Amino acid sequence: MPATIETPRLLLHRLRYEDAEEIFYAYASKREATQYLSWATHESVDETRSFLRFSVESWNFGTDYSYSIRLRSGVLIGSIGAINDNGKVQLGYVMSPAHWNLGYATEACAKVLSVLKSIEQQLYRISTFVDAENTASIRVLKKCGMIEEARLPKWFRFINQDNQPRDCILFRYLP
């Protein structure tokens, strides 16, 4: 994966240690942004720094390609990543609530899927799952060409939703 990806309105850069405070204040500390994520809302910038240590190491091992999502002005508005499990890739993203409903998630997802498609000979599956009540992300994924593959009752425990099993929808990208 390239270290930088560009879209008409966005710059996606490989996550860096220096991004910690921006990430914490833009979305990692915001419960409304992390409600549907697999990781807990960060309570301190140190938690975000720990995540970034993991992220940088995982990139170096070729298992997790996580990017900051920035407006072309430089403002950090979210992140997106592709976890690579020997050719089976899972896509995920999070956006700052201040930048919801402006098409940025769709733009970033579509571009990352396009990059993944260009290396498809090394990948055999691109997918993701969402809480069945996360209608905003469901819309984004469908706009990006992902198709609903399965509905999974009580399939995942989202830590920020009292760790209760939630119904999920599995999406697959068919390039």
The set of residues, in sequence order, having a beta carbon less than 8 Å from that of 35 and lying 6+ positions away, is 158, 160, 161
User: CA 104, 107, 110: angle at the middle one, nearest 5?
Assistant: 145
Enclosing H/E stretch for 108: helix 104-118
Measured in residues, the chain has a length of: 175
Q: What are the domain boundaries of the chain?
A: 4-127
Identify the three-state secondary structure at position 85.
strand
* Architecture field, domain 4-127: 3-Layer(aba) Sandwich (3.40)
Q: Per residue of the chain (175 residues), give pLDDT as tens.
A: 999 999 999 999 999 999 999 999 999 999 999 999 999 999 999 999 999 999 999 999 989 999 999 999 999 999 999 999 999 999 999 999 999 999 999 999 999 999 999 886 778 999 999 999 999 999 999 999 999 999 999 999 999 999 999 999 999 998 6
